[in-house]
Structure 1
Amino acid sequence: MRREVLNDPAITAAELKKNHPALLGNFSVRTIQHRLQISLKLPTRRAAKKPLLTEAMKKKRLSFCKRYRQWTPEQWKKVMFSDESTFRLVRMASTTVRRPSDVSRYHPKYTVKTVKHPDSVMVWSSFSGNKGRRGLYFLPKNVTMKGANYIEVLRDHLLVPYAIHECEVFMQDSAPAHRSKVVQKFLTDNNIPVLDWPGNSPDLNPIENAWNEMKKAIAKKRPTNINELKQALTKLWVEMDLSYFTKLATSMPKRIGMVIQYKGNMTKY
């Protein structure tokens, strides 16, 4: 049974009972769950959510990491890392409540309110390990990011900071707008080399850690409108100091080493 669970970690106790009627038919599902947790030391745990990677994606990730595994922390400090992220106004509420047994579970006080399309903002920013973060730019609402829009962002928020930070290369993910010919020409014309970043690799981009920290903080603050959300995000971003971003940039050798160790698969980052 242990071998079967290790081969299929998502299998349920009910499925195990169905698969092995002779062995487990006389045991309740709860008893099987207890044995898995206590005797076999296989408790149920919340699975980490990671992007699905095809073999081709893993190969590209591995190739990228092997190409840059000799880079030193000092070299990574001269990279201008960038990314967009979406922050939603409505945080995920708890799905459990304490309700008296004589009260309907559908009583408004004890239901979890959901919103189909919570209001949100999308931000873009960048940082280097040399001089830390740049400003937090709020992208226009309901505007699909295309090459022309992205060039405006780069023109207004990258060109000068890139020089001030004394960076030697620019990092952006492989979103379609980023890979468009007009954007590639713009960067080439402005003498900004770009890392050939592999797709579906948020674990390699250290700015994702900053976004995640901000999302946790926003969930606790619970802003009630878009203006409050923007103010809270700006404050959180400004409060992140240089040492934090230096630490993120210089974590790249470890990230790269872990991708190589995992043969292109997702890592803990």
Structure 2
Amino acid sequence: MTGERGRLYITRRVWEKSHPDCIQSVYRSGRTSFMVWGAIGWGWKLKLVFLERRHGKRGINSRDYAEQVLEEVVGPFLQDMEPDTIFMEDGAKVHLGFAKAVRKALNIRGFSQWWPPSSPDLNPIEKVWRWIKARITQMDKFPTTLDELKQVV
């Protein structure tokens, strides 16, 4: 029987649990990923932040983003900028929730609520991310570990 997204379901009897006809091999690539944050402006760029997930959590959430990016990097940076400087974010989920309250507390002026998520035609940083990914895929010696990949980025 085929379910949604082409997933195959097999109906079997209890004693057929380990029968080869009732087992489907699954390939696990071992692929891993990380979330990286960066910011650019006219004549400046900020350090890259490789976000770390909290112990026991599956991924990065708005609290992680707020603590590691907004409080540690953006807040201090904007203190040295002109008061009318606008911080631009897209509509990614990590930019919402707890992060919204932190932006307000740090008096970070932005317009994220109007900016479409992952808009390569509107958000200049998306072009930078695409350029980085293209350069990595063209490398002669492709990074094979997470640390190597972070170093290349």
Please give the TM-score of this superposition, normalised by the length of structure 2. Answer: 0.66
- Identify the structure with the greater helix proportion: 1
Structure showing greater Rg: 1
1:225 alignment partner, one of 138, 145, 148: 145
- Partner residue, 1:183: 99
Are positions 1:216 and 2:134 aligned together? Answer: yes
Deviation at 1:200, TM superposition (A): 5.1
Give the distance between the partners of 1:165 and 1:184, measured in 2 at CA. 20
Deviation at 1:134, TM superposition (A): 0.4
Are positions 1:136 and 2:48 aligned together? Answer: yes
Are positions 1:171 and 2:91 aligned together? Answer: no
- Partner residue, 1:98: none
Q: How many residues align?
A: 118
Give the distance between the partners of 1:211 and 1:229, measured in 2 at CA. 14
Higher relative contact order (CA 8 A, sep 6+): 1
Contact preservation (8 Å) 2:51, 2:65: no
Please give the TM-score of this superposition, normalised by the length of structure 1. Answer: 0.40
After superposition, residues 73-88 of structure 1 pair within 5 angstroms as: none
Give the distance between the partners of 1:121 and 1:198, measured in 2 at CA. 22
Are positions 1:121 and 2:7 aligned together? Answer: no
Specify every segment of 5 or more residues in structure 2 that has no aligned partner in the other structure, as ranges: 1-26
Deviation at 1:165, TM superposition (A): 4.2
- Over the aligned positions, Cα root-mean-square deviation in angstroms equals 2.3
Q: Letter of the aligned partner of 1:213 in structure 2?
A: W
Identity among equivalent pairs (%): 32
Give the distance between the partners of 2:118 and 2:150, measured in 1 at CA. 27
Give the distance between the partners of 2:131 and 2:150, measured in 1 at CA. 15
Specify every segment of 5 or more residues in structure 1 that has no aligned partner in the other structure, as ranges: 1-113, 234-269
Deviation at 1:189, TM superposition (A): 1.9
